């Protein structure tokens, strides 16, 4: 389990993280989504005892990151944004070195090494120098070192950045598989990434949490701005006035000027989940308007993300 309570990190006058609290339970994958500079790596560095917060607390499997850093490290696997690999070591040699450093010995060490080598798909690379590996394989070796001591908690900082689509799918599948008996936190600045991988999403901007919910909840939240679009032929100002009288309608906007056929497009925002289509058709019939076309326009999670981050970004 991961728990963060009111984490705050200031670097001089830079407020990198501000009052961030969350919990991640066993079996859960939390996606930390935010633009570059949002504070994702800082939060992960605190959770993995690389840096101490200015204020607030955090714990991993019940161990406090400040008071019990050794215990925290034992239970945590960390894939930093830039994996510190030893370029002049061979892959197998490096993993052996890391495993020993984490206290593994003898048959247990061999078993763990065999397991991560298969899981991370690096068997063919064991005798390669790390310096000669492609970005994709370096990332897999980074993941292997994070997993070698079979930690209960995994902290993965932008694990798929710079990888090609096939490699990305490979890492995603592995992370999902690992989540069966681990608690995982994954950061990314790419929305599709977090949608594909996480059960729960926290969006952060300028160090603060601006949304926290399941993927479905955030998608529903985004859908609240859905509009029914309708192309109508009739007197635009009369249409506008009448549409605004419809029940459950929040807002009506006339989008474009009347086209040569006398058709004009209106966007109708209504309450969540309320379909106004029938009322609209009836009103058109009564008033003699012609309906040329109608469609629903849902904002994507991407638009919701952009809107949320814009709304919370302070002017410079």
* Stretch of residues binding Mg ion (CB under 5 A), selected from 46-54, 80-88, 94-102, 296-304: 80-88
Q: Least distance to ligand ADP from the beta carbon of 203, Å? A: 11
- By C-alpha distance, which of 81, 89, 54 is closest to 207? 54
Q: Is 41 in the site for Mg ion (CB under 5 A)?
A: yes
CB contact at 8 A, 61 and 49: no
Chain contacts with ligand ADP (rule: CB under 6 A): 11, 14, 16, 34, 36-42
Q: What is the largest CA-CA distance in the chain?
A: 85
173 touches 105 (CB < 8 A): no
Stretch that binds Mg ion, among 32-40, 71-79, 101-109, 305-313 (CB under 5 A): 32-40
For Mg ion, which is the closer residue by CB, 156 or 280? Answer: 156
* Residue 82 vs 287, nearer CB to ligand ADP: 82
Residue closer to ligand ADP, measured from CB, 209 or 249: 209
Query: What, of Mg ion, ligand ADP, none, does residue 14 touch, CB below 5 to 8 Å by kind?
Result: ligand ADP
Q: Are 128 and 155 in contact (CB under 8 A)?
A: no
Contact (Cβ atoms closer than 8 angstroms) between residue 76 and residue 146: no
Q: Which does 34 bind (CB under 5 to 8 A by kind): Mg ion, ligand ADP, none?
A: ligand ADP
Burial category of 69 from C-beta neighbours within 10 Å (exposed 0-12, middle 13-18, buried 19 and up): middle
Residue 290 CB, nearest distance to ligand ADP (Å)?
Answer: 52
The token duo for 45 is: 């560095």
Q: Which does 183 bind (CB under 5 to 8 A by kind): ligand ADP, Mg ion, none?
A: none
Q: State whether the Cα torsion 82-303-195-33 is positive or negative.
A: positive
Nearer to ligand ADP by Cβ, of 7 and 120: the residue is 7
User: Contact 28/180 with Cβ under 8 angstroms?
Assistant: no
* Smaller CB separation from ligand ADP, 156 or 264: 156
Residue 148 Cβ, how far from ligand ADP at the closest point, in Å?
25
Closer residue to ligand ADP, CB minimum distance, 61 or 158: 158
Q: Taking the chain, what is the end-to-end CA distance rounded to the nearest angstrom?
A: 37
Distance (Å, whole) CA 245 – CA 243 = 5
∠136-174-130 over CA atoms, to 5°? Answer: 30
Residue 151 interface partner, choices Mg ion, ligand ADP, none, CB cut-off 5-8 Å depending on type: none
Only one of the segments 74-82, 165-173, 199-207, 302-310 lies at the binding site for Mg ion (rule: CB under 5 A); that segment is: 74-82
287 binds, among Mg ion, ligand ADP, none (CB under 5 to 8 A by kind): none
Q: Which residues within the stretch 88-107 sit at the binding site for Mg ion (CB under 5 A)?
A: none
Query: Is the Cβ–Cβ distance between 9 and 16 less than 8 Å?
Result: yes
16 binds, among ligand ADP, Mg ion, none (CB under 5 to 8 A by kind): ligand ADP
At 216, list the tokens.
Answer: 């479905």
CB of 13 to ligand ADP, least distance (A): 10
Distances in whole angstroms, Cα of residue 175 to Cα of each of 17, 143, 154, 184: 26, 10, 9, 8
CB of 166 to ligand ADP, least distance (A): 25
Nearer to ligand ADP, 16 or 20 (CB): 16
Euclidean distance between CA atoms 222 and 39, whole angstroms? 23
Tokens read off for 254: 């006339």
Q: Where do contacts with Mg ion occur on this chain (CB under 5 A)?
A: 40-41, 81
């Amino acid at each position: 389990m991961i728990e963060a309570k009111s984490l705050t990190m200031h670097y001089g006058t830079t407020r990198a993280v501000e009052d961030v609290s969350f919990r991640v339970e066993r079996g859960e994958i939390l996606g930390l989504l935010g633009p570059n500079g949002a504070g994702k790596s800082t939060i992960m560095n605190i959770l993995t005892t690389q840096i101490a917060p200015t204020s607030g607390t955090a714990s991993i499997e019940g161990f406090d990151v400040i008071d019990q850093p050794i215990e925290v490290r034992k239970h945590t696997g960390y894939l930093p944004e830039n994996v510190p690999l030893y370029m002049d070591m061979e892959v197998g040699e490096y993993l052996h070195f890391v495993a020993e450093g984490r206290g593994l010995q003898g048959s247990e060490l061999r078993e763990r090494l065999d397991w991560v080598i298969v899981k991370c798909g690096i068997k063919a690379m064991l005798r390669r120098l790390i310096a000669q590996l492609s970005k994709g394989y370096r990332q897999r070796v980074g993941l292997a070192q994070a997993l070698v001591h079979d930690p209960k908690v995994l902290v993965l900082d932008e694990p798929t950045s710079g990888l090609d689509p096939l490699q990305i799918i490979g890492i995603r599948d592995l992370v999902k598989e690992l989540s069966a008996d681990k608690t995982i936190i994954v950061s990314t600045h790419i929305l599709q990434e977090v949608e594909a991988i996480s059960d729960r999403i926290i969006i952060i901007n300028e160090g603060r949490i601006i949304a926290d919910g399941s993927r479905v909840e955030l998608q529903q939240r985004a859908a609240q701005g859905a509009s029914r679009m309708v192309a109508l032929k009739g007197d635009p100002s009369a249409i506008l006035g009448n549409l605004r009288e419809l029940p459950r309608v929040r807002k009506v906007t006339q989008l474009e000027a009347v086209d040569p056929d006398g058709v004009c497009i209106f966007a109708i925002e209504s309450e969540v989940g309320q379909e106004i289509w029938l009322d609209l058709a009836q009103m058109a019939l009564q008033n003699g308007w012609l309906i040329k076309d109608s469609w629903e326009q849902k904002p994507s999670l991407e638009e919701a993300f952009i809107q949320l981050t814009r709304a919370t970004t302070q002017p410079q």
